[in-house]
Structure formats: structure tokens, C-alpha cells
């Protein structure tokens, strides 16, 4: 049965290490690493090198961020590790060098968001169709202060929507694979874990919103 695991958190919080551990747990050496990063500067090159050195040499690697669903369909590896959604979104946003994010229209932003969601939806569908395991790494960007510049807000909104879509698909998978027995008063272990995570996330977001509100009150 196919499985989708999402690993999320702040920047440099150890997401990739956890995802790689999960990939090794589920796939052993039958893992395909979907690397979305483009080495545009020395810092990114160094980060890519560190990631490469951590990987099992038997793992396969695909470097790219488009048509990943087709990549999944054409590999014999049974576990897929996507690292990461956030970089994939950045790449899609900057595919057109002449794009001016200060003047970009709402319809253009909506089109970019749709492209991102389509890529992720096709990837998850391929995982289900091919009965594989997918481990996704994605940054949490919605619990900080709203960016003051347009590009930052666009990026944050699209990233948040992408994470929301992925989380909804994970929740649907949990409900489908672990249905509550008829007449039962308690949820399954998987449902309990999901609800506990949701409560922690909701509490953290509420605390962040409360802190932001206090800051706004201070400057009134």
C-alpha cells in the first residue's frame, strides 16, 4: 500500500536528516532522491555537497523539479524522497528572469500557485498509482511575521497553500487506511497521532498570532 510522509519545520531544523532516516527505514537501498536544488552560488553548492555525502551510495538521484510524477512512474525504486518543496517553489517562481514581482498581477500569481499544486498533485497520484512510499521535505513558513515585500508574501502564500494541500492528502490517506470501527468511541492510533500533531500545530500558530497581535498593539 502506498504511503506519503511529510517532514516539515523551520530552516536548518534537521528536516532533511529525519527524512533521510525515514527513507532508509522504508526503502533500505531502494530509494530515489528527488533533488530540487539548483547550485546557483557557492553556499548552495556546499549544501548540496553535504546532502550528497550523507546519502547511501546505492540510492538513485534525480535532479529536477518538473514532471516528478513521470519520474516516479519510470523508476524501479520503491521509496521516493523529495527534498524539498520549498526550493521547488522558488525555482518555479524564478523560471522567467524578467518577471517583476512588484508588478505581477493577481491572475499571474494564481497561475504560479496552480502550477505548484499541479506538480505536487501529479506526484502524489503517481505514488498511489505505483504503490510506492513518498517522503516529502517542506519548510514551515506561515508561523512567522508576514513579509513586508511583495515577493516574500507571494512565496509565503504559495508555500502555505502547497503544505495545506499536502496535509489534506495525508489526512485523507489516514482516514482511508485507518477507518474508525463502527460504534467506537476512540480514534485509531494513526488518527490520534494526527490529531495530536494538529493540536500542537494549532497551539503554536495561536501563540504566534497572539505575539504578533501584541506587537501591533505596542506600535499603535
Active site residues: 51
The DSSP letter of residue 95 is S
Closest CA to 33 of 58, 56, 59, 51: 59
Number of C-beta neighbours around residue 50 at 10 A? 10
89-108: b (≥16 Cβ within 10 Å) or e: bbbbbeeeeeeebeebeeee
In angstroms, the CA 89 to CA 194 distance is 26
Residue listed under C-alpha cell 517583476: 100
CA–CA separation, 106 and 62 (whole Å): 33
| β partners of residue 138 | 8
Torsion of CA 174, 32, 14, 67, to 10 degrees: -70
Longest dimension (CA), the chain: 59
Amino acid at each position: 500500500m502506498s504511503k506519503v510522509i511529510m517532514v516539515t519545520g523551520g530552516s536548518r531544523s534537521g528536516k532533511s536528516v529525519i527524512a533521510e532516516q525515514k527513507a532508509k527505514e522504508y526503502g533500505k537501498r531502494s530509494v530515489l532522491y528527488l533533488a530540487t536544488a539548483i547550485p546557483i552560488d557557492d553556499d548552495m553548492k556546499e549544501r548540496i555537497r553535504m546532502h550528497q555525502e550523507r546519502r547511501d551510495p546505492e540510492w538513485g538521484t534525480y535532479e529536477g523539479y518538473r514532471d516528478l510524477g513521470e519520474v516516479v512512474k519510470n523508476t524501479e525504486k520503491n521509496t521516493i524522497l523529495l527534498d524539498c518543496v520549498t526550493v521547488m517553489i522558488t525555482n518555479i517562481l524564478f523560471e522567467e528572469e524578467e518577471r517583476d514581482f512588484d508588478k505581477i498581477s493577481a491572475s499571474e500569481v494564481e497561475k504560479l500557485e496552480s502550477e505548484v499544486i499541479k506538480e505536487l498533485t501529479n506526484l502524489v497520484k503517481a505514488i498511489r498509482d505505483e504503490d510506492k512510499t513518498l517522503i516529502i521535505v517542506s519548510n514551515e513558513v506561515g508561523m512567522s511575521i508576514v513579509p513586508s515585500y511583495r515577493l516574500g508574501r507571494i512565496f509565503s502564500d504559495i508555500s502555505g497553500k502547497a503544505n495545506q494541500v499536502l496535509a489534506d492528502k495525508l489526512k485523507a490517506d489516514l482516514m482511508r487506511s485507518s477507518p474508525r470501527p463502527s460504534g467506537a468511541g476512540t480514534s485509531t492510533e494513526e488518527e490520534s497521532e494526527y490529531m495530536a500533531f494538529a493540536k500542537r500545530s494549532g497551539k503554536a500558530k495561536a501563540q504566534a498570532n497572539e505575539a504578533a497581535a501584541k506587537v501591533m498593539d505596542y506600535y499603535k
